[in-house]
Amino acid sequence: MRTNKLRIDPNWKSRLESIGYGYHTLDNVPYWVDDYYYEISAKEADLIYKATNELWSMCLEAVEYIIKNKLYQRFHIPPYIIHHIERTWEDDAPSLYGRFDFAYDKANGALKMLEFNADTPTSLFETGIVQWYWKKHYFPELTDQFNSIHEQLINSWGELAPYLKGDILHFACSKETLEDLTNVEYLRDTAIQAGLQTKLIYMDDIGWTGRNFADLEGDPIQSIFKLYPWEWMTREEFGVHIINDLNQAQWIEPSWKMLLSNKAILPILWELFPNHSHLLASYFDRPQHLQHFVKKPILAREGANVEMYYDKQMIYATDGEYGEEGFIYQELATLHREETGFSIIGSWLIGQESCGISFRESDMPITTDQSRFIPHIIRH
């Protein structure tokens, strides 16, 4: 695994905008990197594929374990939503996708799970579409890429279709969030290609009739994909209506994914699968035996409020407004490093199967919303 430089396409911005990718630059700093890329081997791609599928199976075992042993307090989940979580799990409420974030240590080939973005992972559009078009532009020949995301999404929507309620699948995100809207519209487009009837609504515009959720035209919401965190929904005023909804609207992702999008899942996995080759040692209490570790809020986003310790001394921390629900402690991982920065691998799971990867790169060893997106190819 290594980076290679390219002679940049002078029209790279307009090329990206022509396929609907408008947030390639943040505050005049490129978020999308067009002039260098990661090259990985087929063996490394196979390692990521197998690890992703195996970790997903382990996560499903962990959900069953949490529900069976009523461990909700560890996750700071509001008591009123617990029955909903259990019902959606027992009913096999469908899940569409998730993204594991991995650290890769090139020296020994170790691939370690940092966390699982199980509820609202973003960067799907740039992974599935933008880097594919990037490859076609710079490598029009037979060069491969670990990327079947687009096909997998269409297939998965087709497989979910018989289980959806109602005739319309609503898609929702917050207003004035270009990145979220781009991802939601991409997902909606793949659902349309799978033959589903869809409708876009902003979370802010979802109404409550006293009996069920409704859109701006008054049509009942029976199935809805939302790019909006469950932990926000359940703490907002309208959240209690989720359990009062006579239609029992089908939310994608389902509420049982709250157990996997919460970093409390990391110590649970370590407890269930101690010393697993793809896990980092993780604990609810500060470990005395670990010299190097990170402290992470159980509920946080975009690398906020993370503290990094080396020889038990804090060496780096990020700002933010998270942490009141508590923290977990995780063994410090060795990140892949090039002269351009530190990188992690995002490995996508769609329709229960690993199907594509992305690279995010940072100047510092914690990935945040400012971290760059790097495309990749597979070297055969």
Residue 194 has a CB neighbour count (10 Å cut-off) of 18
Cis peptide before 338 (omega within 30 of 0): no
Contact indicator for 261, 117 with CB cutoff of 8 Å: yes
CA 193/CA 202 separation, integer angstroms: 22
The structure tokens 């917050």 sit at: 174
Total residues belonging to the chain: 380
Q: What 3-state DSSP class applies to 309?
A: strand
pLDDT of amino acid 324: 82
* CB-side neighbour CA atoms (13 Å) of 39: 10
CA 286/CA 268 separation, integer angstroms: 15
Contact indicator for 58, 121 with CB cutoff of 8 Å: no
Q: What 3-state DSSP class applies to 179?
A: helix
pLDDT of amino acid 17: 95
Contacts for 61 with CB less than 8 Å, ≥ 6 apart: 272
pLDDT of amino acid 347: 98
CA 357/CA 282 separation, integer angstroms: 24
pLDDT of amino acid 301: 75
Q: Torsion angle of alpha carbons 35, 125, 216, 191, nearest 10°?
A: 150
Residue 142 has a CB neighbour count (10 Å cut-off) of 6
pLDDT per residue, tens digit, the chain (380 aa), is 999 999 999 999 999 999 999 889 988 888 999 999 999 999 999 999 999 999 999 999 999 999 999 999 999 999 999 999 999 999 999 999 999 999 999 889 899 999 999 999 989 999 999 999 999 999 988 789 999 999 999 999 999 999 999 999 999 999 988 889 999 999 999 999 999 999 999 999 999 999 999 999 999 999 999 999 999 999 998 899 999 999 999 999 999 999 999 999 999 999 999 999 999 999 999 999 999 999 999 997 777 889 999 999 999 888 888 878 899 999 999 999 999 999 999 999 999 999 999 999 998 877 777 789 999 999 87
DSSP 8-class letter at 70: T
* CB-side neighbour CA atoms (13 Å) of 367: 21
pLDDT of amino acid 371: 87
Residue 374 has a CB neighbour count (10 Å cut-off) of 21
CA 227/CA 232 separation, integer angstroms: 11
CA 119/CA 251 separation, integer angstroms: 11
CA 146/CA 354 separation, integer angstroms: 10
100 strand-pairing partners: 116, 347
pLDDT of amino acid 320: 85
pLDDT of amino acid 380: 75
pLDDT of amino acid 27: 83
So where are the chain's domains?
A: 2-262+335-379, 281-331
Residue 188 has a CB neighbour count (10 Å cut-off) of 19
Contact indicator for 295, 304 with CB cutoff of 8 Å: no
pLDDT of amino acid 360: 95
